[in-house]
Chains A and B, each alone.
Chain A
Amino acid sequence: MAVIDVVNLSKAFGPKVVLSKVNLQVQEGESLVVLGGSGSGKTVLLRNIMGLLTPDSGHVAVEGQIIAGLSREELFKVRQSIGMCFQMAALFDSMTVFENVAFGLRRHEKMTENEIQARVEECLAMVGLKDTNKLKPAELSGGMKRRVGFARAIALKPKLLLFDEPTTGLDPVMTDVIGRIILDLKHELGITSITITHDLKSAFEIADRIALLFRGECIACETPEAFKVNPHPVIQQFLRGDADGPFLQDPPPPKRKSA
């Protein structure tokens, strides 16, 4: 049985259809990378998986439980087994790094303060952060914030990790660091994960399978090798990073010839 089963998922906001009959399955221990242009519905897909949005039709099942049909208490139980890493980290800015990472532990685990301390340090070490316990999120760089977000997400030892554009807005070096951390987490913890990214380099490094969302539909979901040679013009344009092609709805400005 798939850990995550997305079945005919559709979601629209007013007249704008964001997801249209999307089908995806993620098996245990698998790392799925979801690619797609801005506004193609990638984040909406993750928010449906977390139960932050309700599908218009279709459903998302996590370990066989249909998310939209759960009570609040049942939903919270499922969420304890999922770690969500937000695009801009979404750290609690009134708390220190330590308090952010310890938040879930204090709410849901009966641990002593020493055990919490040890677990927080273990999580921060996994993402390559030390001696940052007492800092506030405002004192951290973008890359550090993402990593604290990762540490917070893994603190409760989830079975499933969701990464929402973890490298957007970071420099290439930090992008590579984040990619390595995701790989490390995958290998060390054996967690099932869904990663949304625009960064093709890290996508091919971390993916067992790659899916591409295009205008709300999932047009491919296959191994990185198969994805690379998929002849679909949208996929090939996305891989080339070229403005000309069927990917954009509005035609791009003409390319200037260099003098």
Chain B
Amino acid sequence: MVLTFFDKAGTGVLRAADTFGDFAVLAGRTFAAVFKRPFDGKSLLNQFQSVGVNSIPVVVLTSLAVSMVFAVQLAFGFRQFQAEGLASQVEGLAVMRELAPVITGLMLAGRIGSAMAAELGTMQVTEQIDALECLATDPIHYLFVPRLLASMLMVPLLTVVSVYIGYWGGYLILVGVEGQSAYVYGNEFYKLLAFRDLRIALYKALVFGMIIALVGCWKGYRTQGGAEGVGHAPTSSVVTSSLWILISDFFLTKLLLV
């Protein structure tokens, strides 16, 4: 009984170490391949399109919805002790520091990470990745690198879009519904913010971009078992990258706010 428990625990630890090691090795190989030739500009542009441009509607809609509902809650909360003016300040702080990068990261983990896992998973089970190998092309260089670069550039850019939309989401509620002055809202939104906050948001977005691309590609690349495996890869990718986004958000916040 005790032996069985230790057996299972040991197997679990070994499996976890194996999984993490595999991810670390593939991530390391991806970064090492970034500067290798040939440079595939067309593939990179395609990824900019699918990761960045095609994600704008999703990011705009979610940022608008979250910033609006957050403004409603803030207006309600601060009204309890006649401090409505603080709502726009806290809205600015929350949007810039947390909501914009995290919501963008989570939405892109769902939209982009899952697509990467499904695409690479399908390529794996239909031997297209083996075909790349046989055509003397490193799949890590050809498939991972453009996706990683596109995510690392586009997630921060989309985070800036999200901050901008967040501003107008708060405006719609606090100025349009709650009747605050537009001039005051414009000033108060940025009152508690410094340039450092934008920098922190962009650092976070950069890390989230890395997580989304690496986890998505890794889950796809390691797909096994036909249709069932391809079905499992995006789910697993979204769950894993969402978890890592939230966990890394905590540590990045602690680290960068010191």
Which A residues contact B (CB, under 8 angstroms)? Answer: 47, 50-52, 72, 76-77, 79-80, 82, 84, 86-88, 90-93, 103-104, 107-108, 152, 156
Nearest-Cβ distance from residue A126 to partner chain B, whole angstroms? 18
By beta carbon, the residue of chain A nearest B135 is A104
Nearest-Cβ distance from residue A73 to partner chain B, whole angstroms? 9
Would you give 8 A-B contacts (Cβ < 8 Å), ordered by A? A82-B134, A84-B134, A91-B131, A92-B128, A92-B131, A103-B137, A107-B137, A156-B135
Question: Is there contact, CB below 8 Å, between A108 and B136?
Answer: yes
Size category of the binding interface on chain B: 10 to 19
Nearest-Cβ distance from residue A46 to partner chain B, whole angstroms? 10
With A and B bound together, what is the CA distance between A76 and B36 in angstroms?
14
By beta carbon, the residue of chain B nearest A72 is B138
By beta carbon, the residue of chain B nearest A78 is B136
Question: Is there contact, CB below 8 Å, between A79 and B135?
Answer: yes
With A and B bound together, what is the CA distance between A107 and B127 in angstroms?
19
Main secondary structure of the interface of A (DSSP, over half): mixed
Known contacts: A86-B127, A90-B127, A93-B128. The answer to whether A107 contacts B136 by CB under 8 A is yes
Which B residues contact A (CB, under 8 angstroms)? Answer: 38, 122-123, 126-128, 130-131, 133-138
Nearest-Cβ distance from residue B172 to partner chain A, whole angstroms? 40
Question: Is there contact, CB below 8 Å, between A84 and B136?
Answer: no
By beta carbon, the residue of chain A nearest B29 is A72
Question: Is there contact, CB below 8 Å, between B134 and A79?
Answer: yes
Question: Is there contact, CB below 8 Å, between A88 and B133?
Answer: no
Residue numbers in A under 8 Å from B133 (CB-CB)? 50-52, 79
Question: Is there contact, CB below 8 Å, between A86 and B130?
Answer: yes
Residue numbers in B under 8 Å from A77 (CB-CB)? 136
Question: Is there contact, CB below 8 Å, between B128 and A84?
Answer: no
Question: Is there contact, CB below 8 Å, between A107 and B128?
Answer: no
With A and B bound together, what is the CA distance between A50 and B123 in angstroms?
18
With A and B bound together, what is the CA distance between A103 and B128 in angstroms?
12
| In the complex, the 8 A-B pairs of residues with the closest C-beta atoms, listed nearest first | A90-B127, A84-B134, A76-B136, A90-B131, A79-B136, A80-B136, A104-B135, A86-B127
With A and B bound together, what is the CA distance between A108 and B138 in angstroms?
12
Nearest-Cβ distance from residue B193 to partner chain A, whole angstroms? 43
Known contacts: A90-B126, A93-B126, A107-B38. The answer to whether A84 contacts B131 by CB under 8 A is yes
With A and B bound together, what is the CA distance between A107 and B185 in angstroms?
55
With A and B bound together, what is the CA distance between A248 and B38 in angstroms?
49
Residue numbers in B under 8 Å from A72 (CB-CB)? 138
Residue numbers in B under 8 Å from A47 (CB-CB)? 130
Nearest-Cβ distance from residue B169 to partner chain A, whole angstroms? 36
Question: Is there contact, CB below 8 Å, between B135 and A90?
Answer: no
Residue numbers in B under 8 Å from A103 (CB-CB)? 135, 137
By beta carbon, the residue of chain A nearest B119 is A94
